Amino acid sequence: MAGNKAVVYSKPGSVEVRNTDFPELVLKDGPGVNPLNVGRKCEHGVILKVVTTNICGSDQHMVRGRTTAPSGLILGHEITGEVIEVGRDVEFIKKGDLVSVPFNIACGRCRSCKERNTNVCLNVNPDRPGSAYGYVDMGGWVGGQSEYVMVPYADFQLLKFPDKEKAMEKILDLTMLSDIFPTGYHGAVSAGVRPGSTVYVAGAGPVGLAAAHSAQLLGAAVVIVGDLNAERLAQAKSFGCETVNLRENSDLAGQIDQILGSPEVDSAIDCVGFEAHGHGKAHGEAPATVLNSIMEVTRAGGSLGIPGLYVTGDPGAVDEDSKIGTLKIRFGLGWAKSHTFVTGQTPVMKYNRDLMMAILSGRAQIAKAVNATLISLDAAPQAYQDFDRGVSRKFVIDPHGLVK
C-alpha cells in the first residue's frame, strides 16, 4: 500500500506536510498518544481515503502554542472520506461507502454513549471522558488532515451518505457535518433559539457563522453577530445577519439596542472561547470577556450556548489563573438573571443526520455561510497562516484532488 502525507504540528506558529505511515487498525505509539492507548486493536474500525478534511479554529489554538500539544502531532478532526478497508468486526459499513466522521470518538457501548452523550465517551481516552482525532490530551487518536486515516467503532460512529454521486455534488456543505455545522447548531439549540428569537452570536469565525446560520434555520427573527474583524462581519452580513463591530465601538449593549430597540437578546452563543479579547481599538487578550458580555446582554431567564473552547491548560495565558482555566467571570450576574449555561464538546451524532438532510434538500447552505475554500494538502501551511491572520474563510483540504 502507498504511503501517507499529513499535516503535522511542528512548533508554535508552524505546521508542515510530512510523509507518515499508512494507517492500520491499531493505535500505535506516536506524538500525543496516551501510553495506555498504545497497541489498542481496532478491528471495529475502518481505513478511509480522505476526501475532504477541514482546518478548524480549535487546531489554531494548538498551532499558536496555546496548549501542551507535542511536536509531531498529526492534526485534523473534521474528516469526510471513502472506506477502503474494513476491520474484521465491522458489519454494516462497506468498502466504497462515502461517510462523515463525527469529531467525537465514541465507543457506542458505555453509559455516556447509550445516553447519546458521545462527546463524553468513557472508553476512548484514559485521561478523561471524551476524545477527538488529532487533538491534545484526547487519547492520541491520529488526526485526519492526511491522505488516509483510521477511524475506530465504524458501525456506531460513521454517517453514510445515501447517494455517493449526489453527496459529491454537495461535498463542500457535507464536509461541515464532522464538526462545525453540528457545533454551531448545538450552540443555537443550547441557547434555546426558537422561532421569533433574538440571538447574539459572539464571534464571526467559522463556528460563529455556523451558529448564526443555524439560528436562522431554527427560526430566529434577528441574528446579531459581533466581532473585532470587519471582514468576518461582512461575511455574516452576506447571509442576512445584523452585525456589531466591537473594535470600532465597545458598547455591545448599546449597539444591540440600536438594532432591536432593547439592549438585551433572548439567547446568546459564545463562539470565541478562551483566547477572547476585550473590546475597543486598544483591545488586549481578556479570556472572560465574551462570557461576561453575553451574560450582560441576555435577558433574565435566557440561555447561553457555549460551544467556544475553554481549556484546563494554556501555557500562553495572560495570567496564572488563566493558565489552568480559571477565569474571572461574573457568575453572580448569571445567577441573578437565572441564566442557563450549556458548555462542552458538541455531541455530533445528535445532529449530523438531520443536518445532512437539510443540506441534501437545499434547506441549509452552510458552505456559503462559512465561505468554504478548497485547497490542496500541500497548501495547508499557508492556509493556517492566512486563517491565523483572520481571513473569513473555512479552509477545506482536498488531499487527492477528488472535488470538482
Report pLDDT digits (tens) over 180-194. Answer: 999 999 999 999 999
Query: How confident is the model at residue 2, as a pLDDT?
Result: 66
CATH 3.90.180.10 placement within the chain: 4-179+347-397
- Residue 277 grid coordinates: 479579547
Rounded CA-CA distance 179/362 in Å is 19
DSSP state letters, 111-143: HHHHTT-GGG-SSS-SSSS--BTT-TTS--PPP
Rounded CA-CA distance 366/73 in Å is 29
* Dihedral (CA of 115, 116, 120, 125) sign: positive
Specify the CATH superfamily of domain 4-179+347-397: Medium-chain alcohol dehydrogenases, catalytic domain (3.90.180.10)
- Indicate the pTM of the whole model: 0.96
Please, which residues bridge with residue 54 across strands? 396
**Cβ–Cβ < 8 Å for 73, 134:** yes
Instruction: Tell me how crowded residue 254 is: count the other CB atoms within 10 A of its CB.
Output: 11
Give the architecture (CATH level 2) of 181-343: 3-Layer(aba) Sandwich (3.40)
Give the Cα-Cα-Cα angle 18, 173, 399 (nearest 5 degrees). 20
Rounded CA-CA distance 359/186 in Å is 16
Query: What are the pLDDT digits (tens) for 247-285?
Result: 999 999 999 999 999 999 999 999 999 999 999 987 888
CATH 3.40.50.720 placement within the chain: 181-343
CB burial string 334-345: b at 16+ within 10 A, e below = beebebebbebb
Rounded CA-CA distance 356/212 in Å is 17
If you count DSSP H runs as helices and E runs as strands, how many of each does the chain have, helices first?
A: 14, 17
- Residue 169 grid coordinates: 455534488
**Which ranges of the chain have pLDDT less than 70?**
1-2
**Cβ–Cβ < 8 Å for 116, 346:** no
